[in-house]
Structure 1
């Protein structure tokens, strides 16, 4: 009986990947609530933010907008954007380079039919016409995987919470869909393979595999926001309420991970899961809840004490520092 209830939300999220007590975690930094163009054109009342019709942005435009704003808080730092194959193309890379310069790098996955090219030859003599941008076509990722599987070597990589032996082969090539030289890494499993690439040519094979493996934490981060924080149980019926609720949920998730970095000892996993030895997000949330119910918690967070303006924000920034 609630036809306007948005049962699903499409969210573009950016977070920082950080090692917390020996395991990778994704700390949400910013997000955009994706609104379909047809819903905006229909001028639905529950799509107005706040009270105004929003401007339509594609997911790639939203991602560029988010990363451009977040990057200002990391001035002087080299930024590597780790994303899945849907975002890992020129629609994200070129606008980011335009806004942030050559310091931003892209690390993503290649599709099996993506063509790779040799590096262009450097001319030693003058020749009429433009210099070539790409060398000879090497073949698709699938064709090259069949060619290079016999040349793969073993690498020891920190992946999914422990060190593993991974068979991989790497080479430098030109990628047309982002118009840039890249380092491509084929990772071979028993019956399958995956091709990764990085525009940062200085990254090692182990780093490229580990960083892309850590990208999965943004997927598990959505599960943490929905189940552990409780976002899936909310009943928000308009875009403005959804945005407000998600802002609080993302902030709560980041606070839990920041709290985990400040613990003296590594938390133990409360519930046994086969193949997983590291602690989970729910374990940190349980520790915080237990501390909040302790008798001495009021000494740390005194309800009767008059706090200075924005003291919570100042305290949070000190914790991050």
Structure 2
């Protein structure tokens, strides 16, 4: 099988993460994951690559369970490729963190447990499987209206009694900050992501999250009184958020959220969230929709003291693309369908699949996009009357077609092309003369 040269060009950025043998396996399994339309088990990837009769299936299994490669290093290489290709040199890096449950069956699956499942049925919303904390870089592509999130790191959460999901997310942020020490990183997450360890983040990293309704806020740390005793670490209590909202001074402004431009009321103030972030100074931002009767509709806490308030609101709005990632990675790439059970295999299959997600977008941006893609889609499926931009599904289909076409136009090894035959004949004639 011959892989498309354009895909190999994108895959080349990951070459330092593998040995020669592992890199070859990695490239073909990436192509197999994209080309496969059935289940993306490990053997399904091999079948999608067209190698099920050429390679023993243990080669594909060994890539995840025994081969020498690090999924964290792979993610950081892709993060560098994303930032160099899709972000201006002086632009801050927006990172979104969130977690998702991938359902698994079997008591011997490493790390599988009962955990919260946002898409689960019933009042408790529980599911059995592996919970993955994922960090994604948010970028804007020239052919898309809304921003898109590209996953670059993933860690398996082992349940209560182990390192928390927030701390796993902060570990990934520390790794990204070490790779890009000269860039500003804006991290955002939902209300579940807060920890006192946010104070340990480098100075170039800010953290923005939604504030729970029952959060206890205080005035900033008062100045020392030069009296005996330990200085106070927090000021007076501010009361519940509803009380803060009723006494605040609001102003009308325009923000861009979720691909829409909206008028909203906003207010802000400096404070401490002592119960979660201790004496770390933060900004409280309250947002109220234009026609809302509530005291406020959204409360944010941020360690960013330099950006304007509208930027903080818009930045939290960019958290939504990671929810789209969770949907597309299941539907279009079959993430979580691999039946791995051992620790190394479980900890590698999902990061591998997420790397494929980012590779697809990198490939489509650099080599695959064409305005005719939308015209073709609307012609074949005329019910998409308002479709103007490609979806991730369109990107996968375009790359799948390119991979399949490369198989059929492949020139078998050892069989010379006509121009090569002519060149050899000319060389013989020149030598005979």
TM tier, shorter chain?
Answer: 0.7 to 0.9
Are the aligned partners of 1:25 and 1:217 in contact in 2 as well (CA < 8 Å)?
A: yes
CA RMSD of aligned residues (A): 3.3
Cα-to-partner distance string for 1:53-96 (whole Å, 9 max, x where unaligned): xxx43323322332222322212212222111111232x413xx
In 2, the alpha carbon distance for the partners of 1:287 and 1:75 equals 36
1:240-292 CA distance string (max 9 Å, x none): 33222212211111112223443666774867789986542212222322333
Aligned equivalent of 1:290: 401
Q: Distance in 2 between matches of 1:303 and 1:157?
A: 56
1:174-232, CA deviations, whole angstroms, 9 ceiling, x for partnerless residues? 22121222121111132551101211111212211111111122222122221111114
Native 8 Å contact 1:30 1:70 kept in 2: no
| Pair 1:79-2:185 in alignment | yes
User: C-alpha deviations, 1:73-127, integer Å up to 9, x for none?
Assistant: 212212222111111232x413xx2xx433221100111111222234445x744
Check conservation: 2:166, 2:195, Cα contact below 8 A. no
Moved more, 107-116 or 156-165: 156-165
Q: TM-score, normalised by structure 1?
A: 0.74
Q: Contact 1:88/1:107 (CA < 8 Å) preserved in 2?
A: no
The corresponding residue for 1:44 is none
Structure-1 residue corresponding to 2:164: 58
Correspondence 1:197 to 2:301: yes
Q: Does 1:185 align with 2:289?
A: no
Count of matched residue pairs: 278
- Please identify, of 168-177 and 125-134, the stretch whose mean Cα deviation from structure 2 is larger: 125-134
Q: Which moved more, 1:263-272 or 1:158-167?
A: 263-272
- Structure 1 counterpart of 2:339: 235
Structure 1 or 2, whichever has the larger Rg, is: 2
**Matches of 2:408 and 2:222 in 1, distance apart?**
67
Alignment match of 1:173 (pick from 258, 271, 295): 271
Q: Distance in 2 between matches of 1:303 and 1:244?
A: 33
Q: Does 1:162 align with 2:268?
A: no
Equivalent residues in 2 for 1:1-321 (5 A)? 4=108, 8-21=129-142, 22-36=145-159, 56-90=162-196, 92-94=197-199, 97=200, 100-122=201-223, 126-148=226-248, 151-176=249-274, 177-178=276-277, 179-189=279-289, 190-191=292-293, 193-262=297-366, 268=374, 278-294=389-405
| Matches of 1:101 and 1:217, distance apart in 2 | 25
> Do the aligned partners of 2:336 and 2:350 also contact (CA within 8 Å) in 1?
no
* Cα distance, 1:212–1:276 mapped onto 2, change above 3 Å: farther
Post-superposition offset of 1:143: 2.3
- The alpha-carbon distance between structure 1 residues 103 and 162, as it changes in their structure 2 partners (threshold 3 A), is same
CA contact (8 A) 1:81 1:107 kept: yes
Relative distance call for 1:287 and 1:57 in structure 2 (3 A) is same
Give 1 or 2: higher strand fraction. Answer: 1
The equivalent residue for 2:95 is none
What's the offset of the Cα at 1:2? 5.3
For 2:160 and 2:213, the matched residues in 1 are separated by 31
The SS at the match of 1:116 is coil
Structure 2: stretches of 5+ with no match in the other structure: 1-104, 113-127, 415-433
SS at match of 1:118: coil
8 Å CA contact 1:115–1:139 kept in 2: the answer is yes
What's the TM-score once normalised by structure 2's chain length? 0.56
